[in-house]
Amino acid sequence: MELWFTEKQTKNFGITAKIKRTYVTEQTEFQKLDMVETEEFGNMLILDGMVMTTQKDEFVYHEMVAHVPLFTHPNPRQVLVVGGGDGGVIREVLKHPSVEKATLVEIDGKVIEYSKQYLPEIAGELENSRVEVKVDDGFMHIAMSENQYDVIMVDSTEPVGPAAKLFEKGFYEGISKALKEDGIFVAQTDNPWFTPELISKVFKDVSEIFPITRLYTANIPTYPSGLWTFTIGSKQYDPLEVNEERFHDIETKYWTKELHKAAFALPKFVADLIK
């Protein structure tokens, strides 16, 4: 018998992956959590039926969330990751020596627990002494923070279930308040093929709060359409105006100095979404 996991990425389109074994299938307090081993992408974390990360392609998302804002800010010391319980963004954040403390606020402790167990090369740095892990509501954490962070990264699930409120304008206002006066934030904002309205809406909301708003992309094969977008809101620093001398050497598999800027060169139909 062959087992295949199929994610319907839209009502009418999806991806399908052959499964070697299922490690976990559990209804947590917040969502359905599956951890499986796939033939093609190694271990895979699935939340509410949607692929969150896989061993083979996780580096793209995690590097591109972390390094673009961290190389844009001249001296990031206090960093907050909202969501991201698999620990991949934290791992990349720690590659920046200026970072004194990285705080992770993940609402679902089970995501952290199973990631440590089945995705150790992604979650391993959650034990690092520069990291504080809080199992808590990221929305509330943001609401109670003021002038505290240099960089905030929103590593959420899709805007359904527990993450829905992380795509509301009020949340971005909270982020602005939680950031220092020269702070910068990034959020994953889905894909332009199946959810163009979301990208337009978030970009508009963010640009009404932050003086500098930018959209960039990366290729993630297990995410819908393979083309993922990230929206940056920044109070002072423009990712397109980075002094390239600031790029120190870090070990990456996706991010490069050239891609840092090239990732903002959008296909025309994507650029049209944020006009």
Sequence ranges of the binding site for spermidine: 62, 86, 155-158
Nearest residue (CB) to a second copy, 219 versus 236: 219
Find, among 194, 196, 189, 188, the residue nearest to 270 by Cα. 196
Nearest distance in Å: CB 170, a second copy:
32
Whether 238 is catalytic is no
Which segments are annotated as binding site?
31, 62, 86, 106, 137-138, 155-158, 162
Q: How many helices (H) and strands (E) does the chain have?
A: 9, 12
C-beta neighbour count of 95 within 10 angstroms: 17
- CA dist 268 and 266 (Å) reads 6
148 binds a second copy (CB under 8 A): no
Nearest residue (CB) to a second copy, 132 versus 272: 272
- Assign 19 to helix, strand or coil: strand
CB 23 within 8 A of CB 37: yes
Nearest residue (CB) to a second copy, 185 versus 223: 223
Q: How many alpha carbons fall within 13 Å on the CB side of residue 70?
A: 29
Question: Which 45-64 residues touch a second copy, going by CB under 8 A?
Answer: 56-57, 60
Question: Which 152-191 residues touch a second copy, going by CB under 8 A?
Answer: none
| Residue written as token pair 């951890």 | 35
Which of 211, 246, 248, 269 contacts a second copy by CB under 8 A?
Answer: 269
Amino acid at 236: Q
Beta strand pairing call for 13-27 and 179-188: unpaired
Nearest distance in Å: CB 150, a second copy:
26
Nearest residue (CB) to a second copy, 53 versus 252: 252
Question: Which 1-40 residues touch a second copy, going by CB under 8 A?
Answer: 6, 10-18, 38-40
Q: At what angle do helices 196-207 and 169-178 cross, to 10 degrees?
A: 40
Nearest residue (CB) to a second copy, 172 versus 228: 228
Dihedral angle, C-alpha 243, 64, 163, 170, nearest 10 °: 10
Catalytic choice (57, 108, 155, 205): 155
Nearest distance in Å: CB 209, a second copy:
26
Question: Which 209-268 residues touch a second copy, going by CB under 8 A?
Answer: 217-221, 224-227, 252-256, 258-259, 261-263, 265-268
Copy the structure tokens of residue 32.
């359905």
- Site residues (vs a second copy, CB under 8 A): 6, 10-18, 38-41, 56-57, 60, 193, 217-221, 224-227, 252-256, 258-259, 261-263, 265-269, 271
